[in-house]
Amino acid sequence: MEDMHMNHQMHDDTMQHGSHMMHMGNLKLKFWVSLILTIPVILMSPMMGMNLPFQVTFPGADYLVAVIGSILFFYGGYPFFSGARGELMDKKPAMMTLITMGITVAYLYSLYAVIANNLLHVHPMVMDFFWELATLIDIMLLGHWIEMNAVMKASVDVNQLAALIPKSAHLVKDNEIEEVPVSELQPAQLVEVRSGEQIPADGTIETGETTVNEALITGESKEVEKAQGDNVIGGALNGNGTFRFRVTKAGKDSYLAQIMNLVKAAQHSKSKLENRANIVAGYLFYAALTISLIAFVVWLLTANLAMALSIAVTVLVIACPHALGLAVPLVTARSTSIAATNGLLIQNRTVLEKINQVKYVLMDKTGTLTEGKFKVSKLVSLTDKLSDVEVAQLFAGLEASATHPLATGIIAYAEEHQIQAVEAQNVKQVVGVGIVGEINGTTYQIVTANYLKKKNVAFNQDTFKTLANKGNTVSYLVQGSQVIGLVAEADQIKSTAKLAIDKIKAMGIVPVMLTGDNELAAETVANQIGIKDVKAGLLPEEKQQIVNQYEQDGLSMFVGDGVNDAPSLAKASIGVAIGSGTDIAIDSADVVLVNSNPEAITTLIELEKATNRKMVQNLWWGAGYNILAIPLAAGILAPIGFLLNPMVGAVVMSLSTIIVAINAMTLRLK
C-alpha cells in the first residue's frame, strides 16, 4: 500500500530550505568527500595568514590549493547554491542565500589572492581564505547533516506506525482461509486474526474474544479486551485469542493511515512562529548585506582592501540564520511525533500556540466525561392503553437505525429482554428535538424534558427529578400532545475524568460542562468529578453562543464528540474532538484525542506548553546569536583589539544550530 508506506518519502526528502529539497544520502557523501579534500588544503595553506607548524610548502602549492578549493567550493557548496536559487526565485532571500554569499565572497577573494601573490607579485602579500573556505563548507555540511538526522529521529515514532501493518491477511471466503496481500482488502470482507498477529485493517469483531494492545496507536498502555461487536484498529497487536472481524476501513482510509497523514501534514505545516522566524531571516539577509557593505567601506578607508574584505566576509558568515530557520520546524517535528504516540492527532498546530492563554476548558458530558455507554435503568408505559413491553417496542423501533449512545442503550435493552422492535418509517433525527418517525401511520417522537416544558406538554416532573437526581438521562415517548412512555438511562463516568478535572484546575484553568442533557443529571456528574460551572439542557446553537460568551472573557478550549458539538468545536479558540466521536466533530476540531481519555486533555496542554517554550527558546537563541554576532563581526570592538574572524564565526554559527537541534530533541512529556 503506497499510502501506508509514506515514511519512505521521509527518508528520501527530509528537509526543505527555500524551494530546495536536500537528499540525506547525498549530503552525507558531500560531507565526507569535502572533509577528505580539506586535509591537503589545511596542510598547504595558512590560517588567517599565519603559517602553521605542520604546513607543507613547495613550488606551485598555492595553485594546487586553488584547484582543490575550487572543487570544494562547487561540489561541497552545491546544496547552498541550490537552496539560494530557490529562495531568490521566490524573492525571499534568507539563510541559504546568506551562506552562499559568505562562501562565494571567500572563494573569489582567495582566487584574487593567489593571482595577486603569484602573478602580480603584490606587496605586502594578500591573505587568502582557502583554509577558512574549506573548513567553513565542512562545518556547514556537518551542521546540516546533524540537523537532518535530528528531523529524521523526530519522525521515528511515526515511521514505526507504518511498520505495524502486516503484509498479508487471512481472508475468509466460504469458510475457507485464503492468504491475501493487505493492500487487496476491501470493506465488508471477513478476516481472521490469530494469536500474536497484528490486525491488518479497521473493522468490527463478528466471532471470538481476545485482548488487543493498541499502545503505539492510541497511547493506551493497558491491553484492551475485545469481543463480538467491538471495533478493532489496523496495526494493533492481537493477544492470545483468535477472532474474525468484518473490515470497515482498509488501506488509505484506515485509521492508521489517517494518523500518518495528519502527522505528516502537521510536520510540514508552517505555524505563526515559524513564519515569524522566516520573516526575521529575511530581514537579517538585508541587514547583513547592508552592514557588511558599510563595514567594507569603513575598513577600506581606515585600513586596506584585505582587511575590509575579511571583515565583510566575516559579517556575511556570522549572519547566517541557519539556527533561526530550524528553531521551530525541529520542535514541531518532535512535538508532533510525541503527540501521535500519546493519542493526540494535531490537525491545526497554529492555534495551539495560544495554549498559554487558555482560561476555560469547556467540555461536553456524554462521551467526553462519561463513557457514553448508556444502560436502561427504567422503561415504563405512562398510559393505560399500552403495556411496558409495547412502549419498549415503540422506543426500539424508532431508535433502530440511530447510532447515538442513548439509542444503543435502548436497542441493547430490547435485545436483552427479547423485545421485538416494531418497524418505523420516515424516521429522522431533529437536532434539539430528538427522534421523529411513523409507526403504522401514527407519528411518534422521542424527546427530552426540556422539549416538553418548552411545548407546555404535561408530564410528571417529580418522577423526572427523582430519576435525574440519580444521574439518569430521561427521554419521553410522545404521541401527538400526549406523553405515553418514559425511558431512563444511566451512563458511567470515565475513571480518569476526576483526575483530569483536578489537573486542569491545578493549571489555573476553569473546567466548564456544557451539555444537552437535563440539569439534574448534569449536576450529579459534575459534583462527582469536581466541576462547579455547569450549563445543561443546551441546543447546539445555545452551546455555540455560550462558547462565544466565554471567548469574550478569555480564550477557551472546547472538547466534544457529537454532531451537535461541531459548531462549538469550530467556534472555540482550540477545538478538541474525542476520537470515538462522529466524523463531522473530528473534521471541525483542531486536535483529536484518539483514546477518548479525558486525561489526554491535560497531556495536550502540558505538551503544547512545553513545545511553545522550546520554540521560544530556539527563536531567542537563533535571533539573539545573530543580533550579538553581527556587530562583533563588523569590528565594533576593533578599537580595543577584538576582531571576529570568519573561522570563529563559522564555528560559533554551526554550534548554535547544533544547540538548537539538541534543544528540540530534549522536548519530553513528564
Q: Please answer whether residues 98 and 321 qualify as being in contact, where contact means their C-beta atoms are separated by less than 8 angstroms.
A: yes
> What's the grid cell of residue 566?
461541531
Q: Which amino acid is at 102?
A: G
- Residue 240: is it exposed, middle or buried by C-beta count within 10 angstroms (0-12/13-18/19+)? exposed
Q: Point out the catalytic residue in the list 62, 128, 138, 364.
A: 364
Cα 554 from Cα 544, distance rounded (Å) = 15
Q: Estimate to the nearest angstrom the gap between the alpha carbon of 371 and the chain centroid.
A: 26
User: The cell 574584505 sits on which residue?
Assistant: 309
Q: Please answer whether residues 367 and 578 qualify as being in contact, where contact means their C-beta atoms are separated by less than 8 angstroms.
A: yes
Cα 621 from Cα 627, distance rounded (Å) = 10
Q: Which of 71, 47, 77 is nearest to 138 (CA)?
A: 77
Q: What is the DSSP letter of 239?
A: -
Q: What is the DSSP string of 417-435?
A: TTPPPPP-EEEEEETTTEE
Q: Please answer whether residues 419 and 426 qualify as being in contact, where contact means their C-beta atoms are separated by less than 8 angstroms.
A: no
Cα 296 from Cα 293, distance rounded (Å) = 5
Q: Which amino acid is at 560?
A: G
Beta-bridge mates of residue 212 = 224, 238
Note if 364 is an active site residue: yes
- For residues 257, 259, 264, 266, the Cα torsion angle rounded to the nearest 10 degrees is 150
Cα 186 from Cα 164, distance rounded (Å) = 19
Q: What is the sign of the dihedral through the CA atoms of 212, 218, 222 and 224?
A: negative
Phi (first) and psi of residue 143, to 5 degrees = -60, -45
> What's the grid cell of residue 349?
498546530
Cα 209 from Cα 242, distance rounded (Å) = 7
Which are the contacts of 11, defined by CB distance < 8 A and separation ≥ 6? 24, 152
Cα 399 from Cα 407, distance rounded (Å) = 5
Q: Which of 74, 86, 85 is nearest to 37 (CA)?
A: 74
Q: What angle do CA 561, 391, 444 make, to 5 degrees?
A: 65
Cα 294 from Cα 282, distance rounded (Å) = 19
- Sort residue 107 into left (φ over 0), alpha (ψ -120 to 50) or beta: alpha
User: The cell 586553488 sits on which residue?
Assistant: 66
The set of catalytic residues is: 364
